[in-house]
C-alpha cells in the first residue's frame, strides 16, 4: 500500500504498511481514515438530563430575528410542552453592523449600533471544511473544490484559520492561516468513492443507494418494480415472483453495506468536531456533501449535535449536487435515457432529496446554522456559510418524561407575531440508563484519559528518536500487530477487521501536546491475510519535538471483539 502523509498537519504522519508478496494489497482490501486526535474535555461532556437546541428565527425574506426572550418560545417533546430551563442569545455583532451599513433594517435586531458607532473587530474564525469525498459525484466534488479554492484565494480575515478534512480520512490538514498550504491541499484532493457509488451497486439488478434503502425498508413499491424489471431484462426466463424475492434480497444486502459506509463518515466527523471544539474564536463546521441516508443512526447524529451545541460550534452545510432537474439528469436514473428507471427517478426526486439531504439540513438546524441546496452557485454558497449566523439562540430543557429508549421528535415555535420561520434540531434519542453504553470512540477516549495499561490486542509498540541536527528530533513510533492472533470475521470470501490507532505525544507531566487518530478498514483476500500472518501488520507514526522529556500514549482497538491495548512509552531528548 502506498504511503500517505498528512499534508500540512504538523502533529503526525502515520503510515500503515501491508507487506504483500506483490508489494501492495489489492484495491479495496484496505482503507485508512485519518483525523486529528484531541482528548475530550469536560466542557463538551454530555449531560443526559438536559436537551439543548440551537435555534434560528428568520422572517419571510430570510432575515435573522434577534431580541427574543425565552418566553417567546414553545418547545414540544413528542407534542408535549416543555419548560425552557436555560436560554441565551448569540450574536455576531460585526456581521450585524455590516448588514446595517448595507441598508438592512429590522426592528428586532436591537444590537445594531447607530451610524458612526465604533464596532469591535470580528472575532477570528476557525473553520473546519469537511468534504464528503465518499458520496460526492465527480462534477459536484470538482465544483465544490474549486469553490473552496476561490474562497481561500479571496483572502481570510485577521486571525482566521481553516482546516481541511474528508469523509474518507485521506486528507487531513490541521487549522492554518497559510493560504498556499490550503490551496495546495485543496488542489490535491481526490474522490474516494465507495464501490458502486458512481454506477450503482450490483450487476443484476443494479441499485442506487437510495433505491436499496427504500426497497429494504418497504417504502417504495415502484423502486422495487424497477429492480425487478432490471433483473428480468438480464435474465428473461426468471419468473416474476422469483425476481421479486431476489430484488428484495439484493436491496437488503446493499443497504446493509451502505449503512455501514455512511456510519463511517459520521465516525470521521466525531474527532473533527472534538478538534474544532478546542479551537479559539468563532467555530464553524462547514460540510460539503450531496448527503446520504442516515436511517438508524440517531445516536450518532444526536451525539454530534450535543457536542457541537456545548462547544458553540455552528454547523453549516452545502449540497454539492446543485440544482437537479430530475428525470435522466437525476442520480437515480444511472444515466438511462428512458424506461421505468427514468420515470421512477422523475417521480421520486422530491422524496429522494429529502431523504439524502435530511442529515445536512437537520445538523444545520440543530446548531443554528444554514443549509444551502438546489443552487449551482457553490462559490457564493461557501462564502455565505463560512460566516457565523448573525443571531441564534440556545435553548435547553429537562424532559418531563422518563427516558423510554426511543427517538423523540422536537418542535420549536415562537409566539411572536410576524409569521417567522423557526429552525431547530428535529429530535433526540432518549436512551434508557441500561442503554447508555459506551460507543467505541467513548471507550477509546476513556481508556486514553485513564492512563491505564492494557494488552488485549497483540501489538508491540517501539519508540525511537532521530536527531535532525536543527535543534529538533523526529520521534518515531513503530507498531507491529501479530495477525495470527488477531481475530477476523468473514464476509463474501474476505477477512474483515477494523483497527483504530490513537497516538498522542505528551509532556513529562502527561499534558497533551499533539495527537492523531487513524482507522484501518480491512477486507483481506486469503493471500493477503496469509502474508500478514507471516510478516505482521505495521504502522509508523512520527512527531517533531525539541529537547525535553516526553511520553507516547498509544491506544489500539480491534473491532471484532472490541478489545484494546494501551501503553505508555517515555522519551528523553537530550
For the stretch 301-345, pLDDT in tens is 888 888 888 788 889 999 998 887 766 677 888 878 788 889 998
Amino acid 110: pLDDT: 34
13-43+437-573: in CATH 1.10.620.20:
no
Is the model's pLDDT at 19 over the cut of 90? Answer: no
* Least confident range of 108-122, 320-334, 481-495: 108-122
Q: Where do the domains of the chain lie? A: 13-43+437-573, 49-59+71-109+392-432
The helix/strand/coil state of 276 is helix
Amino acid 256: pLDDT: 86
With 0-12 CB in 10 A as exposed, 13-18 as middle and 19+ as buried, what is 346?
Answer: middle
Q: What percent of the chain has pLDDT over 90?
A: 38
Q: What percent of the chain has pLDDT over 70?
A: 85
Report CA torsion sign: 98, 101, 107, 113.
Answer: positive
Residue 136: phi and psi, rounded to 5, are -65, 140
CA distance 268 to 439: 14
Is the model's pLDDT at 436 over the cut of 60? Answer: no
pLDDT in tens, 254-308: 898 888 888 888 888 888 888 888 888 889 999 999 999 998 888 788 888 888 8
Is the model's pLDDT at 450 over the cut of 50? Answer: yes
CA distance 368 to 394: 8
Q: List the beta bridge partners of residue 478.
A: 462, 540
Amino acid 328: pLDDT: 66
Closest CA to 152 of 120, 174, 184: 184
Residue 536 burial (CB count, 10 A): 20
CB 115 within 8 A of CB 103: no
CA distance 68 to 414: 9
Amino acid 128: pLDDT: 95
Q: List the beta bridge partners of residue 569.
A: 552
Q: Given strand 13-18, what is the order of strands in its sheet?
A: 13-18, 537-546, 472-481, 459-467
Residue 49 burial (CB count, 10 A): 8
Amino acid 548: pLDDT: 92
CB 102 within 8 A of CB 146: no
| pTM for the predicted model, two decimal places | 0.69
Amino acid 175: pLDDT: 93
CB 489 within 8 A of CB 559: no
Residue 509 burial (CB count, 10 A): 7
Distances (CA, A) of 191 to 60, 135, 175, 237, 464: 38, 9, 21, 39, 35
SS3 of 222-257: the string is HHHHHHHHHHHHHCCCCCHHHHHHHHHHHHHHHHHH
CATH number of the 49-59+71-109+392-432 domain: 2.60.40
With 0-12 CB in 10 A as exposed, 13-18 as middle and 19+ as buried, what is 571?
Answer: buried
CA distance 308 to 161: 18
Amino acid 42: pLDDT: 43
Q: Which residue has the cell 434519542?
A: 429
pLDDT band at 98 (very low <50, low <70, confident <90, very high): very low
CA quadruple 518, 510, 176, 502: dihedral, nearest 10: 0
pLDDT in tens, 554-574: 999 999 988 999 999 999 998
Question: Which cell numbers in the block locate residue 60?
Answer: 419571510
Amino acid 102: pLDDT: 32
Q: Residues 119-132: what's their mean pLDDT?
A: 77
CB 518 within 8 A of CB 32: yes
Give 163 or 38, the one with higher predicted confidence.
163
13-43+437-573 and 49-59+71-109+392-432: same fold? yes
Query: How is the chain split among helix, strand and coil, in percent rounded to 5?
Result: 30, 30, 35
Amino acid at each position: 500500500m502506498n504511503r500517505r502523509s498528512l499534508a500540512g498537519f504538523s502533529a503526525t504522519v502515520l503510515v500503515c504498511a501491508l507487506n504483500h508478496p506483490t508489494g501492495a494489497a489489492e484495491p479495496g482490501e484496505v482503507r485508512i481514515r485519518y483525523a486529528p486526535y484531541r482528548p475530550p474535555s469536560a466542557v463538551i461532556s454530555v449531560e443526559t438530563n438536559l436537551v439543548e437546541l440551537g435555534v434560528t428565527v428568520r422572517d419571510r425574506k430570510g432575515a435573522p430575528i434577534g431580541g427574543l426572550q425565552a418566553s417567546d418560545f414553545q418547545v414540544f417533546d413528542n407534542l408535549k410542552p416543555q419548560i425552557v430551563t436555560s436560554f441565551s442569545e448569540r450574536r455576531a455583532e460585526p456581521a450585524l453592523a455590516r448588514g446595517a451599513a448595507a441598508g438592512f433594517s429590522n426592528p428586532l435586531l436591537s444590537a445594531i449600533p447607530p451610524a458612526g458607532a465604533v464596532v469591535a473587530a470580528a472575532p477570528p474564525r476557525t473553520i473546519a471544511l469537511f468534504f464528503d469525498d465518499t458520496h460526492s459525484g465527480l462534477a459536484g466534488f470538482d465544483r465544490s473544490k474549486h469553490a473552496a479554492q476561490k474562497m481561500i484565494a479571496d483572502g481570510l480575515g485577521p486571525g482566521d484559520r481553516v482546516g481541511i478534512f474528508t469523509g474518507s480520512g485521506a486528507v487531513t490538514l490541521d487549522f492554518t492561516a497559510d493560504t498556499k498550504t490550503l490551496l495546495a491541499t485543496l488542489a490535491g484532493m481526490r474522490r474516494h468513492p465507495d464501490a458502486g457509488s458512481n454506477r450503482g451497486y450490483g450487476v443484476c439488478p443494479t441499485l442506487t443507494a437510495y433505491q436499496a434503502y427504500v426497497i429494504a425498508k418497504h417504502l417504495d413499491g415502484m423502486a422495487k418494480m424497477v429492480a425487478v424489471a432490471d433483473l428480468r431484462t438480464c435474465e428473461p426466463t426468471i419468473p416474476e415472483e422469483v425476481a421479486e424475492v431476489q430484488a428484495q434480497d439484493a436491496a437488503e444486502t446493499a443497504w446493509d453495506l451502505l449503512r455501514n459506509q455512511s456510519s463511517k463518515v459520521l465516525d470521521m466527523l466525531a474527532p473533527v468536531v472534538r478538534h474544532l471544539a478546542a479551537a479559539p474564536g468563532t467555530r464553524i463546521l462547514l460540510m460539503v456533501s450531496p448527503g446520504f441516508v442516515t436511517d438508524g443512526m440517531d445516536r450518532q447524529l444526536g451525539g454530534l449535535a450535543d457536542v457541537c451545541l456545548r462547544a458553540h460550534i455552528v454547523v453549516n452545510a452545502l449540497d454539492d449536487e446543485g440544482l437537479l432537474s430530475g428525470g435522466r439528469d437525476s442520480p437515480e436514473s444511472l444515466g438511462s435515457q428512458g424506461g421505468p428507471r427514468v420515470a421512477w427517478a422523475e417521480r421520486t426526486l422530491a422524496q429522494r432529496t429529502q431523504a439524502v439531504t435530511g442529515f445536512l439540513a437537520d445538523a444545520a438546524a440543530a446548531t443554528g446554522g444554514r443549509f444551502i441546496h438546489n443552487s449551482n452557485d457553490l462559490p457564493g454558497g461557501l462564502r455565505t456559510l463560512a460566516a457565523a449566523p448573525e443571531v441564534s439562540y440556545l435553548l435547553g430543557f429537562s424532559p418531563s418524561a422518563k427516558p423510554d429508549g426511543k427517538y423523540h421528535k422536537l418542535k420549536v415555535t415562537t409566539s411572536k407575531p410576524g409569521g417567522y420561520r423557526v429552525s431547530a434540531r428535529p429530535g433526540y434519542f432518549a436512551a434508557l440508563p441500561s442503554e447508555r453504553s459506551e460507543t467505541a470512540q467513548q471507550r477509546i477516549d476513556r481508556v486514553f484519559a485513564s492512563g491505564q495499561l492494557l494488552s488485549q490486542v497483540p501489538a508491540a509498540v517501539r519508540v525511537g528518536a532521530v536527531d535532525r541536527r536543527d535543534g529538533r528530533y523526529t520521534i518515531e513510533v513503530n507498531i507491529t500487530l501479530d495477525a495470527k492472533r488477531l481475530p477476523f470475521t468473514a464476509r463474501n470470501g474476505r477477512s474483515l477487521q477494523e483497527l483504530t490507532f490513537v497516538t498522542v505525544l505528551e509532556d513529562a507531566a502527561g499534558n497533551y501536546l499533539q495527537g492523531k487518530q487513524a482507522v484501518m478498514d480491512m477486507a483481506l483476500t486469503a493471500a493477503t491475510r496469509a502474508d500478514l500472518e507471516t510478516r505482521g501488520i505495521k504502522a509508523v507514526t512520527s512527531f517533531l519535538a525539541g529537547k525535553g522529556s516526553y511520553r507516547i500514549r498509544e491506544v489500539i482497538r480491534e473491532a471484532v471483539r472490541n478489545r484494546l491495548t494501551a501503553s505508555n512509552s517515555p522519551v528523553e531528548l537530550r
